[in-house]
Amino acid sequence: MVRSRECTLAVDLPGRAPGRGAYLCPEAPCLERALKSKSLERALGCPLPAEVVDQLHELSRPRAGQGGTR
C-alpha cells in the first residue's frame, strides 16, 4: 500500500511508487487482522476507503489452481 501527499491510497505491488508505504502479507488472515486492528490506517495516516478494502480483499483471495495455505 502507498499513500500520496493528498491522502490517495493505492495498492503498489512492485513497491516502487513514491509516498508513504506500508507492507502487508498477501494472506487473507493477515489482511483481516490488519483491518480489524486498523494497523494499516495508523501506518498510512489516513482512513481506508471501502473501494481500497474491496481491492485488498480481491488480491488476498486464492487463485484457481493455488492452494489457500503454504
43 in any annotated domain: yes
Number of C-alpha atoms within 13 angstroms, CB side, residue 32?
A: 4
Q: How confident is the model at residue 64 (pLDDT cuts 50, 70, 90)?
A: low
d(CA 29, CA 60): 9
Per-residue confidence (pLDDT) for residue 21, from 0 to 100: 94
34 in any annotated domain: yes
1 in any annotated domain: no
Q: How confident is the model at residue 67 (pLDDT cuts 50, 70, 90)?
A: low
Full-model pTM: 0.77
Per-residue confidence (pLDDT) for residue 31, from 0 to 100: 93
30 in any annotated domain: yes
42 in any annotated domain: yes
Number of compact structural domains in the chain: 1
Tell me: the pLDDT tens digits for 7-63?
899 999 998 999 999 999 989 999 999 999 999 999 999 999 999 999 999 999 876
16 in any annotated domain: no
| Helix 50-60 × helix 28-37 angle, to 10° | 150
Number of C-alpha atoms within 13 angstroms, CB side, residue 61?
A: 7
Instruction: Return the C-alpha cell found at 28.
Output: 487473507
3-class state of residue 21 by DSSP: strand
Domain that holds residue 40: 26-63
17 in any annotated domain: no
